[in-house]
Structure 1
Amino acid sequence: MNGISCQPLLDRLTFALVKTGVISDLSKRKTELEKIKFCLGVEVTYSDVKINVQEEIQNLLDALYDKCEDHSKSEALAMKAKNQGSKAYLKKKDKEALNCFSESICLAPAESSVLPLALANRSAVLYQMRRYKEALQDMEWAEGACYPAALRHKLLVRRCRCYLSMGDIKKAREVLEACNNHIHLVPLEAKDKYETEVADLKQKIENHVPTSSTITSQENLQQPSLYGGENETVKYITNAFEMKENDKYGRHIVAVEDVMKGSEVFVEKPYAAILLPEHHKTHCHTCFSRLLTSFPCSGCRDAIFCNEECRRASRPWHQYECGILHILSSVGIAHLALRILLITGWKLHCYIREEVVEGKVAGFGEKGVYNGPDLIDRYRAVFHLLPHFNSCLLEDQLQYCLAAILLATAISDKTNFIKENMDENGEKTDLDVPHLASAVMRHIAQLVSNAHAITQLMPSDSGGHSRVEQIKQIRVASAIYPTASMMNHSCKPNIINSFYKDVLVIRTTEDIKPGDQVSNCYGPHYCRQTREERQEALKQQYFFTCKCEPCTQPKYMKSEASWSGFYCENCGGASSWMGNEDPGGCNTENNEGVLLCLQCHRVQRPSAHLVYTCSRVNSLHESGEEAIRKGNLPDAVSLLRNAIQIGSKVYLPENQYFLRVRDTLARALADSGDYENCTLELQECLQFMEQRYGPESIELAHEFLKYSEVLELAAAVNDKLQDELRMVKKRINDIFTLNYGPQWKIYLSTSAVK
C-alpha cells in the first residue's frame, strides 16, 4: 500500500476519542445507526489539534484513491515483466521465469497484445517444469486471448508434446493431425523447423514413447461427503445431527444417533470469505487454492483466480471491489462484513432485517429450513447470528464504527453499489453512508464471535538452515459458515475443522453417542493453553465463562502444571511454577513467582541453585542456537548436550522449555548428519507430545512428520530401521486422514507422505 494504511488512523482516532472522553457518549447511543451517526458528527480538539472524524476518514481515503493507479493494469509494466521472464527462461531459471510471466499476465490489460504472449511463454516454462496440465491450460487461455495466428504453430507442437508426456496418445494423435493441417499456414522462415518437429512427434507417437515422466499438480482425491446424508432441515450437516434451542445452551447441535470417529459431519461452503492480503499473489481469490499459475482479473492487478469459473464466481463482490481491494482489505475482518452485504444486496438485507422472527427459531425460513440453498435462506442464517455488540468494550465498539464508516464511504465514492440498489422509482430508500455503515458494523460484531479462519497445511520455510522439513498450519482466509456457527464451544472438542479449498469439512475425533452435544473449539484448547489463559480469552472475545470438563476437573489442571514443571527440591515430586514468567528460559531473580509441589504441597520461592541452573541452561541453549546459525555444528551439539545434562537435574521431562532445548539438539544432530542420534532425541520429544496432546492429535502428527524425515535418512544406511519407518509413515497417514481427510496430501510434498 505504498506506506499508507487505514488501521493507524483508526487507532489514532480511537485514542483521541477515548482521551477526550467522547467515547462515553457513544455508550448512550443504543442502535448501530445511532452510533454511526454520532461518530460521523464527532469533532474534538486533542493536544491542540482539531479532529473531525468524517474529514479525517475522507482525507485518508482521498490519499488512498490517488494510489489506485498503482493497482490498475499497465501495458508497459506487463511488457517489462514479460521481457524479464524471457531472459530468465533462456538462462533456464524456470522459477524466476514463471514468476515474471505470471506478473506480466496480471499487469496486462484485457485487450493487450502482451497478455496472450505472456500466457504462451508461461506454458513453455511449465512444459519445461513438466507441469503439463497447467501448460495446456495456459495455451488454451493464450488462444482465447487472441494469440497471434503466425505463432500458433508453436502452441500446436507444445500441446502435442504435453499429451505425449502425459501418455495420452489419443489426444496426441488428434493434435498431430491439427499440426499437419496447419503446415501451409506456418511462416516460411519457420516451416523447415516446424516440419522436422512434426515428423519427430509422428515417430514418437508411432513408437508410443513418452518424452518424459508426468508430474501431477494434485492427487485425485475423493470429494468430502456427509456421513449418513444431509439433514433436511439444517443444511450442510449430517442427518445424524439436529439443531436444538433452550435457555441454557441457546441454539446448539446434538447427535440423534451413533456417529463413529473420523466421520464427515459438516460440509459447508462459506456465505462469504476473504483472502488475507499476504496471500493475494499466491492464492485464488474465490476458492483459496494455492496457485502455480493464475488467471487474472480483467480490471485490476490485485485479484487472481484458478480459472474463468472462479473469476465468474467472484463477480457478485469483485465488481465493486475491483480497483479498491487494497483499501478494503486493509481493515481486517471489517472487509468480510462488507463483502457479506455486497453479496447480499441492499434490498434483501432490508427484507431480512424487517422480517418478523417471533414464534420460530431465529434463522429458519418459511419452509422450516435453516441455511437453505437460496440466497435469501442463507443470508437469513447469517443475519441472525448473535452480534454481542453491546457486550464489547467501548473502545472496540468505536473501532467497529470507524472501520464501517471508512468502508461505506469508499463504496459510496468509488462504486455503483448505492445507485444499483435504488428502488423502482430511483429513490435510495434508506441506503446512504450511515445506513450502509450501520449494517457493516452489525456484521463486524457478528464476525468477531463467528468467523472461521481458513487454514492450509504447508511445509514451513526454514530458510534453508535445516535438513529437516517442518509442517505448519497457515491461515490464508477468513469466512462465515452459518451452520457450523451453531456449535457451542468446548476446550476439549469432539470434532476438528479442515478445509477443501474454501469448503469447511468437519470430522468427529471421537465416537459420539445420541444426546451428546457436538462441540467446537473457538480457539482456546485444553492441550495448548492453561485454564486461566482459556477463560480470559473466552470472556474477552465470546463473553462467557467456559464450564467444560477441562475447565472444571482437577485432573486437567494437574496435567497443565507439568508444562512448566520442575523437580521439587523438598521431596523430588512434580513442582509447578506459579508466576507471570516461566523460569524455564529466563532469570527468575527479579520475577515474582513461586513453585507449588503437587506431591508435598509445599509452596516456595525458587532457590538460588534453581535460578542459576535455569540461567545456565538458557545461556547454553542460546549459544547452541547461535552456533547452528553460524554453521558451527560440532560446537552446537556440545553446547546443547551440556544444557540437557545440566537441565535434566531440575526440569521435569515434559517441561515445554526443556523439550524445546531437546528439539534444538535434534536439529543440530540432523544438520550435522548424525541421524541415528537425532532420532533418539526426537523419540523423547514424541513421548511427551503424545502424553500431552493425545495419540491421534494433529500436533503429534506434525512431530511424527519431522521424525520420519530423519528416520528415512538414518534408514538409508541402517536397514534395521526400515520397519519402523514404514510403521511411522502409516501412523502419520492415519492421524492426518482422521483429522483432515485424504486431501491433506495436496498441500504437502514431503517424503513422509509418499
Structure 2
Amino acid sequence: MNDVCGKRLPEILTILASKDYLAKMYTALEDDGIASVIKIALDVVRNTEIVPLPDIRRKNSDKAASFIYEARAYLRSRCIDVALEKCNEMLLYAPKNSDHMFSVYYFRAKILCLVKAAIAGLNDIENCLAVMKPQDRDALEDLMKMKKELTSILPFENIKNLALQSSFGTDYFTFNMKRNKDINCAIADIGVVRENGLPKVVATKNIDVGKLVAVERAYVTHRNDMNQLISCYNCLKFNLNLIPCDGCCYALFCDEMCKKLCMDEFHRTECQIMDHIFPERSDARFVLPVRAALKMKQAKSWDELVAASQDLTADKLRNRSDSEIYDSRNTFSILNYNNGKHFVHGKIFNQSFYYAAIVNRLSEIPGYYPQDPKKRLEAMYALGSIMLHLFVTYPFEIEIINAAQNYLTNNVTSEPEPNFGWFSFANKLKHCCEPNLLVVGLNDKIGLVAVKPIKKGTELTICYM
C-alpha cells in the first residue's frame, strides 16, 4: 500500500492526520463499514487536495493531424499494423464533423486497399463519401479507383473467408438449447442448491464432455490497453472500420449500433468523466466497479439504487432467489456475490478516495444527481458504496480470449491480447485448478464448455488463473 490516488502513502497520511480525518477513517473501517468510509472519503476529496487533477483529453484538430503524419511514416516503413493504429488514434482526437474525419477515413481506406482488405476498404470508402465536404472532391476520383479495385477482388475475399471461417463461433455460440428457467444463460441441466444457506451451482443431470453449459454476455467489460486501437469499446470485436465516440478521446466502436447500445447502457455518463477514470488506473479491477455502478444507475432510479446500496451485507445471498443472484437480466445481479472476505481494510482505505473522487466529479454533470440536497448526498453515498463494494468483493475478472479469430483482421493488425469482463453467472462459479468447465471467449461473451464428464450433483467449476 504505497500509492493512493497518485500520491505517496506518507503524504496521504499526513494530509488526513492534519485534518483529523485519519481517526475518523479508522473508526469507520472498524465499526461501520463501506458506507461510512465513502462518506468520510467524499468529505476528504471535497475539502483537501488529496486527489490531483487529471490530464484532460479533448478533441483537438492539431493533435489529430499529428497522427496522420505518423501513420504515413509507418506506412512508408511497411508497418501496416502501426499505421492503421495511428489512423484510429487520429479518429479519437478528431472533432466531430471536422475535415480530419475525411482525411483519416481516406488514408485508412488507402491502407486497406494496399493490403487487399476488400470488405473493410469498401466500408471506409463509404465512410469517406458520408463525411465528404466540397473541398474533398479532388479525392473522389481516387476513391472511385480504389472502389473499383476492391470490388474486383471482393468475391475472392468472400470465398477465402468462407473457407477459413469456423462454424464454432457462429453456430456453437448460438446456444439453441433448453435453458434454465432462473438462469437464462445456462442449460436446463444445471441448478442451484444451498449449503448453509449459501448457493452453489451443480449439474442436475450427467453432462458429457464437450457440451456447452452456458453462453453469457459480460455484465461489464474492460479492453486490454493493447487492444484500445483495434477493438470495439462495447462488444470487444476486433474490427478494421472502427468509428469514434463523439464526446471522449477513449472509445472506438465497430458500428453505430454498438455505439448506441454502449451509450444507452453506461457510456453516456461515463463519457463525461473518462479523464478521471483512466489517467492512472486503466487496470480492469479499478475500472469495472465504476462501469458497473454507472450501468445500474442508467437502468434504475436513484431510490432503487440507494435501496440496493443499503443491502450489501455478507448474509444477503441467503435471502436472494437464484435469478436475483445469477441472471444478468436482473440489473443488481452483479451485487449478489459471497463477499465474506478478510483483511480488506487496506483495499477499502486506498480505493475509497478514488471512487469518492469519481462520485464527486459526477456532481459537475448538470442534472445527474437529485436536486434536493439530502437526496443528492444520499445518491452520492450510494453510488460510491456500490463502487467500493464491487472492488472489494470481486477477487478476479475473467479473461476473454477469442476462440474464433477474424483471420483477415489478424493479418493486418497487431496480435490481440485478452480482454476482461465481469459475469453475473460465471464469476460466481467455484475456482478449481482442474476445473470441469473451460471458459471460451467470443468478443464480449464467453461460453462454458464441459472439459470432463460432470456427474449429476457435481459442483460446476472454472479456473480463474
Query: If the TM-score is normalised by the length of the shorter chain, which range does it land in?
Result: 0.7 to 0.9
SS at 1:440 equivalent: helix
**Which residue of the partner structure matches residue 476 of structure 1?**
419
Residues 316-395 of structure 1 mapped to structure 2, 5 A cutoff: 316-322=265-271, 324-329=273-278, 330-331=280-281, 332=283, 333-345=285-297, 347=302, 348-353=304-309, 362-364=319-321, 371-372=326-327, 374=329, 377=330, 379-388=331-340, 391-395=342-346
Matches within 5 A, 1:115-126: 115-126=101-112
Structure 2 unaligned regions, length at least 5 = 406-414
**What runs of 5+ residues in structure 1 fail to find an aligned partner?**
43-51, 169-209, 460-471, 524-754
Contact 1:234 1:369 in 2 (8 A): no
Out of 222, 240, 249, the position equivalent to 1:274 is: 222
Q: Within 5 Å, give how 1:647-686 maps onto structure 2.
A: none
Match of 2:40 in 1: 38
Q: Output aligned runs, 1:155-174, within 5 Å.
A: 155-167=143-155
Q: What's the CA shift for 1:518?
A: 1.0
Q: Is the 8 A contact 1:269 1:504 kept in 2?
A: yes
| Distance in 1 of aligned mates of 2:294 and 2:188 | 32
Offset at residue 135 of structure 1 (A):
0.6
Q: When the two structures are superposed, what TM-score results if normalisation uses the length of structure 1?
A: 0.51
Alignment of 1:452 onto 2:403: no
Q: Deviations over 1:393-422 (max 9, x none)?
A: 321221232222122123224x34xx2343
Q: What's the secondary structure of 1:57's corresponding residue?
A: coil
Matches of 1:260 and 1:343 in 2, distance apart?
Answer: 37
Other-structure match for 1:219: 165
On the 8 A contact 1:233/1:370 being kept in 2, the answer is: no
Q: Which has the higher contact order (CA 8 A, sep 6+)?
A: 2
Match for 2:360 among 409, 421, 426?
A: 409
2:408 corresponds to: none
Deviation for aligned residue 1:364: 3.2
**Cα distance change on mapping 1:111 and 1:406 into 2, 3 Å:** same
Conserved in 2, the CA contact under 8 Å of 1:241 and 1:256? Answer: yes
Q: 2:411 maps to what in 1?
A: none
Against the structure 1 CA distance between its residues 280 and 86, is the aligned structure 2 distance closer, same or farther, given a 3 Å change threshold? closer
- Deviation digits for residues 310-358 of structure 1, max 9, x if unmatched? 2222213222232542430333423211111211115242354568999
Answer whether contact 2:316 2:336 (CA < 8 A) is retained.
no
Query: Are the counterparts in 2 of residues 11 and 399 from structure 1 also a CA contact under 8 Å?
Result: no
Contact 1:13–1:53 (CA<8 Å) still a contact in 2?
A: no
- Provide the rounded CA distance (Å) in 1 between the counterparts of 2:339 and 2:457: 28
1:121 and 1:6 map into 2 onto residues whose CA distance is 42
1:522 CA displacement: 3.6
AA in 2 matched with 1:131: A
Q: Is the 8 A contact 1:228 1:240 kept in 2?
A: no
Q: Relative to structure 2, which stretch is displaced further, 96-105 or 217-226?
A: 217-226
> Is the 8 Å Cα contact of residues 232 and 253 (structure 2) preserved in structure 1?
yes
Offset of 1:255 from its aligned partner? Answer: 0.6
The equivalences for 1:233-312 within 5 A come to 233-247=182-196, 250-312=198-260
Aligned counterpart in structure 1 of residue 68 of structure 2, from 66, 82, 88: 82
Is the contact made by 2:370 and 2:376 (CA closer than 8 Å) also made in structure 1? yes
1:127 is aligned to 2:113? yes
In the alignment, does 2:142 pair up with 1:141? no
Counterpart Cα distance in 2 of 1:41 and 1:254: 46
Say which SS state the counterpart of residue 344 (structure 1) adopts: helix
1:286/1:305 contact within 8 Å kept: yes
State the secondary structure of the residue aligned to 1:81. helix
Aligned pair partner of 1:27 in 14, 26, 29: 29
Q: Bigger CA drift: 94-103 or 134-143?
A: 94-103
**By how many angstroms is 1:85 displaced?**
3.9
Letter in structure 1 aligned against 2:49: E
Deviation at 1:494, TM superposition (A): 0.9
1:420 is paired with a residue of what secondary structure? Answer: coil
Higher mean Cα deviation, 312-321 or 502-511?
Answer: 312-321
- 1:261 deviates by 0.9
Of structures 1 and 2, the larger Rg is shown by 1
Q: What SS does the aligned partner of 1:27 have?
A: helix
- Matches of 1:216 and 1:73 in 2, distance apart? 40
Deviation string 1:151-201 (CA, Å, 9 cap, x unpaired) is 434333322321210227xxxxxxxxxxxxxxxxxxxxxxxxxxxxxxxxx
Name the count of aligned residue pairs: 436
Measure, in 2, the Cα distance between the counterparts of 1:125 and 1:216: 23
d(CA) in 1 for partners of 2:232 and 2:209? Answer: 32
Identity of aligned residues (%): 15
Which amino acid is the alignment partner of residue 29 of structure 1? D
Question: How many Å apart are 1:267 and its aligned residue?
Answer: 0.7
Distance in 2 (CA, whole Å) between partners of 1:215 and 1:162 is 15
What is the CA-CA distance between 1:87 and the residue it aligns to? 6.1
Paired letter, 1:491:
C
For residue 356 of structure 2, what is the amino acid of its counterpart? I
Q: What are the Cα deviations for residues 48-98 of structure 1, in whole angstroms up to 9, with x where unaligned?
A: xxxx8951334x03xx1xx21xx2212223234334545665776644543
Q: Secondary structure at the match of 2:49?
A: helix
Q: Could you tell me which residue of structure 2 aligns to residue 443 of structure 1?
A: 390
Look up the match of 1:500.
442
- Residues 444-464 of structure 1 deviation map (CA, whole Å, 9 limit, x = unaligned): 2222x36323345899xxxxx
Deviation at 1:507, TM superposition (A): 0.9
SS at match of 1:314: helix
Q: Residues 14 and 399 of structure 1 are in contact (CA less than 8 Å); yes or no, is this contact kept in structure 2? A: no
Provide TM-score, normalisation by structure 2.
Answer: 0.80
Query: 2:270–2:294: 8 Å Cα contact kept in structure 1?
Result: no
Change (3 A) 1:138 1:96: same
Q: Is the 8 A contact 1:495 1:508 kept in 2?
A: yes
1:320–1:491: structure 2 CA closer, same or farther, 3 Å change rule? same
> Cα deviation per residue 1:287-327 (whole Å; 9 max; x = unaligned)?
22334442111222221122222222221322223254243
